[in-house]
Amino acid sequence: MKIVQAAGWYFPDSLGGTEVYVAALAHRLQAAGHDVQVAAPRAGARAEETYRHDGIDVYRYPIPTAPTRAECQGATTVRGAERFHAWLAAAQPDIVHVHTFVTGLGLAELRAARAVGARVVVTPHSASLGYVCQRGTMMRWGERLCDGRSEPTKCAGCVLQSQGVPRPLARVLAAVPPAVGRWLGRTPMRLGTALGMSALIRLNQARQAETLAVVERLVTLTDWAHDALVRNDAPPGKLAVNRLGVDDVSAPPKPGPAVRSTMLPVRVGYLGRFEPIKGVHDLARAVASLPARMPIRVEFRGPDGDELARSVVRDLRALVGADTRVTWAPPVLPRDVPRVLAEYDVLCCPSICLEGGPTVALEAHAAGTPVIGTRIGGLAELITDGVNGRLVPPGDWRALAGVLVEIAADPACTVDRWRDALPPVRSMDEVVKDYLDLYAA
C-alpha cells in the first residue's frame, strides 16, 4: 500500500510525542513493505520542501504564520494547503492517515484525500478530538474534566473564558443564539470572534459529523475519548480504540527494588514540552511549597526553543526561586529517553488537558520508573492510584505537593511498592498490527 502519514508538526523542527509516534509508525509500515511518506504543514515557509529524515521521505507545504480568522476557524482552505491537495492528487495514496487537526490540516484536507480515492483514517492526538472541544483541553472552565458533550452555549462560554473573557461576561456572550452569532460574527477583530462563538461551536458540530462521514475510521487513544465521541452522536461503527505504545521495549528495565531500593533524596523528573497545558506550573508550585529540608530533588527537562517555552521556563524559575533542589536540563534525543527515565525514581506528568498518553509515561514504565499523574485521559487509564503510581486531580498543586511529601517520607512504601506493580507496556509493534488490520478492513 501507498500510505501518507499526515501530522501537524514533524522533525527536525519539532520534537514531541506525536512526532515520535508518527515516525515509529512510518518506520514499521515501511519495514512491512509499504510505501510510506510523512506530510506536514510548515508555518512561515516560502515554498514546498521534500527531504528525508531518518530513512522516511517527508513532504512539507507552506502555510502563513498569521492565518486569517476564517482560516483559523476552518471556514476556508488555509493558504498553501492547496499545494498539499495537489501533492495528494499526484501521489495517489491508498491510505491517508491524519494525526490531529491543526491550521492547514483539517476537514478540507480530508476531503482532498477522499477526492483522490484514498481511504482516510484519523487519530486525534489532541484533546480537541477533532472538532469537539474548541478550547482544546477538554477541561470545563479550565478547572475540571468536561463530560465531552459539545453544546453551543456551554462550549462557547468555556472557550471565551480561556481567551481572557471574565466568566460572567463569557456566559452572556455564549447565550447569543448560533443563528444570530453567525451574523454578528462578521464584526471585525476580537468582538466578532466573541459574538460569533456559539455559531462556531454549531459549525464545529457539523464539521465533526462530516469528518465521521468522510473517514473510514476515527481512532482514539483511550476509552474515555471513544465514549466522548459516542456522546457526540458518532456512529460506533466508525470508531476504534488503539492505545499508545512504546517505540522500543527491547531494553530491560532498571533493577527492581529488591536489588536497588530507592534512596533519599527521591529524584523526581519532568520530561516534556514546556507548555501550560502540561501542568508544569503546578509541579513548580508544589515543589516551592515543600519544607526546605525535605529530601527530594526535582529536574525539569525539555526543549525551550520557542518564545512560549522560554516564557514558561521563566515562570517556573520565578516560582521555585533559588531552591537548590530544583535543576534544569536540556531536551533529550529519543534514543536517550529510556536512560534518562531510568535515572529518575519517579516521573511526574501533571497534565491539565486530556491526553492519549503522554507517551513519556509509558516509556517511564518500560524503564521501570513509576509515574505521578493527573486523573485525566490516558494517565487515568494507565495508572492505578496507589498501586503502581499516584493520580491527583488536574490543576491541584496542593494534592501534588502532598504526594511529594509522601514519597520523600517513605519511598519504600510508595515508590518501591509501585515499582513492583508496574503494568506491561504496549509496544508500537502492537499498535502497527492493529492499524494494518484496520487499513486492510
* Every domain range in the chain assigned CATH 3.40.50.2000: 2-133+201-246+428-440, 266-419
Q: Say which CATH superfamily domain 266-419 falls into.
A: Glycogen Phosphorylase B; (3.40.50.2000)
Question: How far apart (Å, rounded) are the C-alpha atoms in residues 390 and 384?
Answer: 7
Taking only the tens place, the pLDDT of each residue in 242-263 is 999 998 877 889 999 999 999 9
Taking only the tens place, the pLDDT of each residue in 23-81 is 999 999 999 999 999 999 999 999 999 999 999 999 999 999 999 988 988 888 999 99
pLDDT reported for residue 188: 74
Q: Does residue 265 have a cis bond before it (omega within 30 degrees)?
A: yes
pLDDT reported for residue 69: 83
Taking only the tens place, the pLDDT of each residue in 193-228 is 888 999 999 999 999 999 999 999 999 999 999 999
Amino acid at 85: H
Does pLDDT of 127 surpass 90?
Answer: yes
Does pLDDT of 274 surpass 90?
Answer: yes
User: Phi and psi of 383, rounded to 5°?
Assistant: -105, 130
Task: Using pLDDT thresholds of 50, 70 and 90, give the confidence band for residue 191.
Answer: confident
Taking only the tens place, the pLDDT of each residue in 307-346 is 999 999 999 999 999 999 999 999 988 889 999 999 999 9
pLDDT reported for residue 193: 81
Does pLDDT of 392 surpass 90?
Answer: yes
Distance of CA 256 to the CA centre of its chain: 30
pLDDT reported for residue 26: 98
Task: Return the CATH fold of 2-133+201-246+428-440.
Answer: Rossmann fold (3.40.50)
Query: Do residues 231 and 180 make contact, with C-beta atoms less than 8 angstroms apart?
Result: no
Q: Does residue 358 have a cis bond before it (omega within 30 degrees)?
A: yes
Written as nine digits, the cell of 18 is 506525536
